[in-house]
A and B are shown apart, each in its own frame.
Chain A
């Protein structure tokens, strides 16, 4: 699905100048801090803001072009938006909220009962929105948006009002929905950890401009090395789960044929063997040694070669190490850097604890960046 955007807008605190041309596939994450313009971008795509200029084309169809005075109304765009406050109609029951959307859908191809089952709403259908928890409300909002059968689904910080447990549940649901229905989605968030779980591609906004976009792992790794990086430096990975070792409380991930990484045990129900896990390791959780660590309590160690070294701040350095074609990022002190006499291409070993591999769904070791 081709999306072409050229937007500019002037607000009190920010000048927006967004240009993007690309295909939308799966879930595309839009990352940026508050005030970076990401919500404005979503609202412009949905047709909810009229104080921007420029143009938006989706699938070669013009949604908006200020020069030619074209503005397709929100209700004619067939683009649904899930808001952070679920905005369920308070006078309607859950089922009536879903029907509201269904009745106005142009295609009506989806099986309503199937979507209700998929989003686990069966026991809630007769309730009023005020009787639901935050997580339940967002599930209804998601189901309602899906039932409109949109050509594009926008999500504006859909998890920000939820607790960690509900965030995990909704993210799992979202990936399930995406696999099942294949609706392209644009997912806006200020939490990189959240996007890292669901998005295949990432768009990064800062001060009203798109500063990078592409494969999510590549973009995160490029952001690591940027000056005044907007993120906590980390290694971002998609790895296949090879084993759940209940006896030792560890889950094994395949890095390559010969190399396995371990993290604290995950639920086999949500993360079956063979499925891919999104995880990340903060750079300050990875240490470097020159000699192979033979006797260590630390479970994960790999050998690799230094590919880049750059100062992070006055007292620390960011070292990029390539192990089996996978980049890892380690943050060490300037003192250690001098002591180890590090240089590019030098052969080193990196090590990190099992708990340093963080997955959004693992409450044992998840810390929001």
Chain B
């Protein structure tokens, strides 16, 4: 079965994707909310920024992050003095990279859901005495739950499939930053096609299953509505 380093890569990948998804939900939700409610012309500009990772080669993002994370940079130094560890080529670095890279996959479905929900139910909730957090938790969240699940699944799946950014800023450190996509690349480089097949096929099947689950969920939600 899986040899030890491949197993470690799987664990690292799952860990990276889980942490990234949680962070994305925490920061993506308010971003999506403000974008959905924004009325100024600047909205288009912010939307473009969020969508950027969809079109930008991952190596471009990785390259700039690598410069930003280097021990000479402001960010790298600040991180070093705060945590006592170098940022470049660390697990934290690939998580930050993944968050940026998967941002649109979480923000866009949420923003769309908030826009479709509109203000009607929020207005009536306010006149019944519900404050803004109350309204979000008890009106918005239950009514857009399906979009939260879609956003989380897309963010998770997309992070698992990431290669370029992780390669640029993570290096290839076992148990730290060596993720499945990089492990496959290594196996291919070493002409170890059997292992490359095993990992590739598992990723393929896992991704299909995850996406099928999302579409099934969306389908059910549409039938309900």
Determine the chain B residues whose CB is within 8 A of the CB of A77 once the complex forms: 127
Assess the B120–A75 pair: CB atoms within 8 A.
no
Q: Cβ of A207 < 8 Å from any Cβ of B?
A: no
Decide yes or no: A74 and B126 within 8 Å by CB, A87-B121, A89-B121, A100-B138 being known contacts: yes
- For residue A77, which residue of chain B has the nearest CB? B127
B143 and A75 form a contact (CB under 8 A): no
Residues of A within 8 A of B124 (CB): 81, 83, 87
Contact between B120 and A74, CB atoms less than 8 A apart? no
CB-CB contacts below 8 Å: B29-82 with A:
none
List of B residues within 8 angstroms of A81 by Cβ: 123-124, 127
Write out, one digit per residue, whether chain B residues 103-137 have a CB within 8 A of any chain A CB (1) or not (0).
00000000000000000110111111111101000
Binds B, one of A101-109, A158-166, A183-191, A354-362: A101-109
Asked whether any CB of chain B lies closer than 8 Å to the CB of A148, the reply is yes
Answer whether residue A338 sits at the interface, using C-beta atoms and an 8 A cutoff.
Answer: no
Please indicate the chain B residues that have their CB under 8 angstroms from the CB of A73 in the complex.
126, 131
Q: From DSSP, what is the main secondary structure of chain B's interface residues?
A: helix
- Nearest-CB distance from B70 to chain A (Å)? 47
B142 at interface by CB-CB < 8 Å = yes
CB neighbours (8 Å) of B8 from chain A are none
Question: Which residues of chain B come closer than 8 Å to A142, judged between CB atoms?
Answer: none
Within the assembled complex, what's the spacing in Å between the Cα atoms of A145 and B126? 11
In this complex, how many residues of chain B approach chain A with their Cβ under 8 Å: the count is 17
Whole-angstrom distance from the CB of B38 to the nearest CB of chain A? 15
Of A47, A75, A80, which is in contact with the most chain B CB atoms at under 10 Å from its CB? A75
CB of A132 closer than 8 Å to a CB of B:
no
Q: Is A200's CB within 8 Å of the partner chain B? A: no
Contact residue among A48, A89, A104, A145 (Cβ-Cβ distance under 8 Å from B123): A48
Contact of B128 among A85, A91, A101 (CB under 8 A): A101
The verdict on A78 contacting B120 (CB below 8 Å), with A89-B139, A91-B142, A100-B138 known, is no
Inter-subunit contact A46/B127 (CB<8 Å): yes
**A85, A104, A148: residue with the most chain B Cβ atoms closer than 10 Å:** A104
Q: Which A residues between 95 and 117 are near B, CB-CB below 8 angstroms?
A: 100-101, 104-106
Instruction: Name the residue in B123, B127, B138 with the highest tally of chain A Cβ atoms < 10 Å from its Cβ.
Output: B127
Most chain-A CB neighbours within 10 Å: which of B120, B126, B131?
Answer: B126
Is the CB–CB distance between A48 and B127 below 8 Å? yes
Contacts of B139 in A (CB 8 A): 89
Q: CB distance B129 to A148 under 8 Å?
A: yes
Contact A105 to B123, CB < 8 A, known contacts A89-B139, A91-B143: no
At the interface, yes or no: A301 with Cβ under 8 Å from chain B?
no
- CB contacts (< 8 Å) of B143 on chain A: these are 89-91
Given the complex, which residues of B lie within 8 Å of A79, measured CB to CB?
Answer: 127
| Interface 1/0 per residue, A195-228 and B, CB below 8 Å | 0000000000000000000000000000000000
Contact indicator A148/B128 (Cβ below 8 Å): yes
What's the minimum C-beta distance from A194 to chain B, rounded to whole angstroms?
22
Bound form: Cα–Cα A104–B131 in Å = 10
Interface check A38, CB cutoff 8 A? no
Task: Say whether B120 contacts A87, CB under 8 Å.
Answer: yes
Q: Are A80 and B128 in contact (CB under 8 A)?
A: yes
Can you list 11 A-B pairs with a CB-CB distance of less than 8 A? A48-B126, A79-B127, A87-B120, A87-B123, A100-B130, A101-B128, A104-B128, A145-B127, A145-B128, A148-B128, A148-B129
What 4 A-B pairs have minimum CB-CB distances, sorted nearest first? A104-B129, A74-B126, A87-B124, A81-B127
